[in-house]
Structure formats: structure tokens, C-alpha cells
Copies of this chain bind each other. A is one copy, B any other.
């Protein structure tokens, strides 16, 4: 990792700059595939599964039997671990049920909100070297708590055309029955547009590579909501003399192993700590099977030595990290100042991997600085709010004249008239 000592404030933006992802070239591919999915439906899904995944798929839908049988291929140990995680995720997300009361803003004018589930949602689970079953839990559990009526899940098949049984087991556990062996752009296109087999949905969730990200953006232009824009995963660790270099190094590496483009930043006001972490990194790196990936990620990563905890906090808020690990003596001093971050891990015994898997918080978080404007996924991501209002005759007498004046000033005469005809009738009734 590159060590930067006491940078000036005017250098911070440049030091914290993330790599720019060029998406323009992908638009053409995405548009073409979406067009074919729209016109050819399932046939287009099969065509592109052959083209990209080199698999001929007959049945796009995974059968209920396959889902049910999945548990036979998984160790009891893993099943139990998944259940522990699922329970915690359920417990934390259940408390996120938004509430609303009826507010009388003016006498006779009552306003309130109601939260309803998004009827149809789509979850995308990437393929690749490992089965990301944890994301099934992170998206499927809040969808179920929210009460989404239709939950569709797409994930690419392996070279035998199968879905990893752990993913299917997670689906079964959270109650997802509509699982399709489709990946990439064509999966997002299918959920956005609908085909003979795949129902269209109103919102699409889930991580993915740059193709999936581009496809989600296109879906979003078509009016299908998406969870958030995606970018490479990242962590910022703030540490002082109270932190354990071995632990800090293990956290940095668990971010670095995600991919060569992972962003890893360590900020400290203790120079010795940076050196100690560097030594630990080299030690632990050698034992990792993903050593090559992690090394590449670390080469792009930075250790920043700052003057004080306050400066570290400013840098962190400027960066807006997806994950923020706070391994410092006086954590309470810093906690209140955190403005921009996806998820925060506090203390020596709270590794990021706890939140990635099992503590209960969601691991679908804003990266690439989007923490400045986006929340991570939560129960609310699967719901929307509707406002309601009811006005009595008395209420309209109180409020009506103000509405008439404002509507007139905006030159919206019919808006004014909708009040006037009512006020006139109330007058007549009273006369």
C-alpha cells in the first residue's frame, strides 16, 4: 500500500479519487440485448446464455424439486450457519417497519402516510467462482418482511446448467420460488421487460459486474426502479494505538480479496500503526488463496497519516466509504461526526465480515461515493409510501382561501376552481 503522510487538505480529493468507470461502450450491447428480449422473449434469453455462458438451457425456471432437493447437498454445519444469519437479518430488518401517524396540519385537515410493499421485485445474484448465497438472504428476507407478492430471482447457471445448491437452499429458506438460471444483461432485461417464463418486475436489486450495472441503468431509464448504482467494493479503516495491527490487516485483506479493483484505505494519526499493519499485511497475504487479486487491490490502495482524529473523520466523510471500520480508543467522539458511509463497524471485535454475513445489517451498500446520497438496502427499499389526506367542510373553509390565492398566482385557474365550487356549496348549505 502506498503511504501518504500528512497530505494538505487541497490534496485530499485527488488522493481519495476513485477510478472512473467508462460505461458508454456497454450501452450498445445492452440496448441490443434488451431489444431482442423484448421481441423474442425466452428465445433471446437462451441465445445469450449460449453466447455468454456457453450453455444450452431448456428449462429457464429452476423446478420446485431442484429447490427442495438442494438441502441434501449441503452440510448441516453450513445450513445452521445460514439459519443463524437469516435469523439476525430478519430480526434487524423487522424493526425497520416505517410508521406514520395522522397529523392535523390545520383544523379539519388530516394528513398521513401509509407504507405498502412493492408488488413485484427482482433479485439478481451474480455467478462467478463462488456462490453468493449471502446476498439471497440480504435481499430475500427484507422482501418477504415487506410483503412483496412476487419475488423473482435470476442467477447464471454453471457449466452443467445448474444453480449451486447453496443458493437454492437460501432461496428455499427465505421463501423464493421463482428462480431462473439466467445471468448478465439478459437476466436484467428479462426482469425489466418480462418474457414467457420470467415475470417483469417493478424494482431490481442486486450486485453484478459492469454489464449487469449497465443493464440496470438501462432498466432504470425504462421506468423500472433499481436499488442503487454499483461500483467496486471498498473499505476505509480508521485506527489508532488501541487497534490491533493483525486485525486491521485482516480487515483490509478481506476487502482486497473481492477484486483487483477493490478500494482499501487506512487512515491513522499514529505512524507506528501504519508500519505495523504493513508488516501484518505481508504476513497474512502469503497465506491467501486469492493472494494475486488481493495484492493487485493493495497496490492501488493507500495508507494516509493524518494530524488528528478530526482530520481522519473529515477525510472519511469526504470519501463516503461503503464500509467504515472504526478501531479507535475514543469511538464515541467520532461516531456523532460520521455523515457519509454505508455501514460502520465499531471496535476491535467487529470485522466487516460480520456485517457481510451474519450480524443482521444488510451488505447491499452504496459504493463509489454514493453513500453521500444513497442508503444501503433495508426494509424500506422494498416498500413505498403513499400520502393520504382528508379535509372536512370546516377544514376547507380554513385552508381553501389560501389555496385559491396560490393557484391564482400560479395561473392555474381550474385548481382554484376546484376549491371555489366547494366553498360556494358550503356557503349555500350554511345560508
- A contact set with B: CB distance below 8 Å: 23, 77-78, 80-82, 84-85, 87-88, 91-92, 95-96, 98, 100-101, 103, 105-106, 109, 111, 113-114, 116-120, 129-134, 166, 202-203, 217, 220-221, 223-225, 229, 244, 246-247, 250-251, 253-254, 256-258, 284, 287-290, 294, 335, 338-362, 366, 368-376, 378, 380, 384-393, 395-396, 399, 401-403, 405-407, 409-419, 421-422, 425-426
Shortest CB–CB separation between residue A49 and chain B, in angstroms?
A: 23
Contact B359 A225 (CB under 8 A): no
A357 and B119 form a contact (CB under 8 A): no
Q: Once bound together, how far apart are the Cα atoms of A91 and B104, in whole Å?
A: 9
- Chain A binding surface, main DSSP class: mixed
Find A386's partner among B87, B289, B341, B349 (CB 8 Å cutoff).
B341
Give the CA-CA distance A138 to B341 in the complex, in Å. Answer: 27
Cβ contact within 8 Å between A389 and B250 = no
Minimal beta-carbon separation of A96 from chain B (angstroms)? 7
A199 CB → nearest B CB, Å = 13
A353 touches B290 (CB 8 A): no
Count the copies: 2
Determine if B389 and A343 form an interchain contact, defined as CB atoms under 8 angstroms apart: yes
A357 to B198, CA, bound (A): 42
Cβ–Cβ contact B92 & A103, under 8 A: yes
Chain B residues, CB < 8 A from A81? 401-403, 405-406, 409
Partner of A202, one of B217, B373, B416: B373
Complex A-B: 29 CB contacts under 8 Å: A78-B405, A81-B409, A82-B406, A84-B402, A91-B103, A96-B113, A103-B360, A106-B359, A111-B361, A116-B340, A119-B339, A129-B411, A130-B411, A133-B409, A220-B220, A244-B425, A250-B414, A250-B417, A289-B413, A341-B386, A343-B387, A349-B391, A349-B392, A351-B422, A354-B389, A357-B403, A358-B399, A359-B389, A361-B389
Contact call A134/B203, Cβ cutoff below 8 A: no
